[in-house]
Amino acid sequence: MPVANLIDGRAIAEGIHAETARRIEALAVREVKPGLAFVRVGEDPASVVYVGMKERHSAKLGINSRTHLLPESASEAELLALIDRLNADPAVHGILVQAPLPAHIGAARVYARVRPEKDVDGFNPVNVGKLMLGDPTGFVPCTPAGVHELLIRTSVPIAGAEVVILGRGNIVGKPMASLLIQKARNANATVTVCHSQTRDLPGHCRRADIIIAAIGVARFLKADMIKPGATVIDVGVNRIPDPQAKSGSRLVGDVDFENVQPKAGWITPNPGGVGPMTIALLMRNTVRAAELASAA
């Protein structure tokens, strides 16, 4: 059986970065420099790595970024006060509050506090509502938007396609479904969202033209769960033990890649698939926020 075509997320992300860089140059002519504020609470190791990656890409593109650190013990009121200061700062066009937040802080209240026009992560209820309604003036969460771009730029047919999304989370599953069901260009799919209570989940997967795995279980999607030629997008990030690794563990996706790849049509590697796209869309959202602010 032929080896599946890999969707090179790094290469596609670089193309988006190039487009974003040209928009930054156009802003510079008007003496506008996009500003992005990262907010991190505590020292979660993964969060430290993710914010560091986003900072480096910001610097490379010429986006003025700054990370604001609060201790794990910081109160919700302290975090909201910091967000209020960033909301009021005209040099800050985008605000990203890095997840996860400590258990004593209400994430929904925090995301709602970020002004919609600075909500480059797309989690404010106003932007969530705009996405659901098909209003393009809002900001779309970066990972679903990145997956959408992967499909579009790989010329995967979306209109009329049977799509299965594994996972119903607020960060990927729900917004991904909203993007693909819209009566709009590069949408019009028939979407099934599967989760822990879904009956005959493998049966749903085997009917799908496109499967987007964001269920948070290492190597969950097996080869016998897809039909030949299906497009498979792996959003998962799971740490598993690995005695051969220096750290004693390694990261894998939600897809059993080695066995699924020969059967799939298009498939994302992990890493190198969705991850770079999430950052690319964050940078693009930030530049768009700066464009909108400077036009106001």
Neighbours of 107 (CB within 10 A): 16
- Do 192 and 94 fall within a single domain? no
Which pLDDT score is estimated for 246?
Answer: 84
- Do 271 and 144 fall within a single domain? yes
Domain count, the chain: 2
Respond yes or no: is residue 54 known to be catalytic: yes
Whichever domain contains 240, its CATH number is 3.40.50.720
- Do 100 and 163 fall within a single domain? no
- Do 200 and 260 fall within a single domain? yes
* Residue 61 lies inside a defined structural domain of this protein: yes
On average, the pLDDT of the chain sits at 96
- Do 158 and 80 fall within a single domain? no
d(CA 99, CA 95): 13
Respond yes or no: is residue 182 known to be catalytic: no
- Do 189 and 71 fall within a single domain? no
- Do 86 and 176 fall within a single domain? no
Catalytic one among 119, 121, 254, 256?
A: 121
Phi, psi of 157 (to 5 degrees): -65, 125
Q: How confident is the model at residue 2 (pLDDT cuts 50, 70, 90)?
A: very low
pLDDT tens readout for residues 264-277: 999 999 999 999 99
* Residue 7 lies inside a defined structural domain of this protein: no
Q: Which domain holds residue 91?
A: 33-115
Using DSSP, state whether 70 is helix, strand or coil: strand
Query: Is residue 34 scored above 50 in pLDDT?
Result: yes
Q: How confident is the model at residue 240 (pLDDT cuts 50, 70, 90)?
A: confident
- Do 205 and 88 fall within a single domain? no
- Do 173 and 255 fall within a single domain? yes
* Residue 41 lies inside a defined structural domain of this protein: yes
Catalytic one among 54, 118, 130, 174?
A: 54
- Do 152 and 212 fall within a single domain? yes
Which pLDDT score is estimated for 4?
Answer: 57
Lowest mean pLDDT among 46-55, 72-81, 144-153, 157-166: 46-55
Which pLDDT score is estimated for 1?
Answer: 39
pLDDT tens readout for residues 54-66: 999 999 999 999 9
Across 38-43, average pLDDT: 96
d(CA 143, CA 263): 25
- Do 151 and 267 fall within a single domain? yes
* Residue 147 lies inside a defined structural domain of this protein: yes
* Residue 193 lies inside a defined structural domain of this protein: yes
* Residue 206 lies inside a defined structural domain of this protein: yes
* Residue 281 lies inside a defined structural domain of this protein: no
Buried b or exposed e, range 233-243, using 16+ CB within 10 angstroms: bbbbbbeeeee
Q: How confident is the model at residue 250 (pLDDT cuts 50, 70, 90)?
A: confident
Which pLDDT score is estimated for 291?
Answer: 98
Lowest mean pLDDT among 6-15, 43-52, 196-205: 43-52
Q: Write out the E strands in 122-268.
A: 162-166, 190-194, 210-213, 231-234, 238-241, 249-252, 266-267
Query: Is residue 116 scored above 50 in pLDDT?
Result: yes
Query: Is residue 46 scored above 90 in pLDDT?
Result: no
d(CA 47, CA 54): 11
The two three-digit tokens of residue 46, written as one number: 């993964």
- Do 46 and 105 fall within a single domain? yes
Query: Is residue 194 scored above 70 in pLDDT?
Result: yes
Catalytic one among 98, 118, 209, 261?
A: 98
* Residue 11 lies inside a defined structural domain of this protein: no
Across 210-220, average pLDDT: 97
More confident residue, 137 or 247: 137
Respond yes or no: is residue 121 known to be catalytic: yes
Whichever domain contains 91, its CATH number is 3.40.50.10860
Q: Is residue 120 within 8 Å of 139, Cβ to Cβ?
A: yes
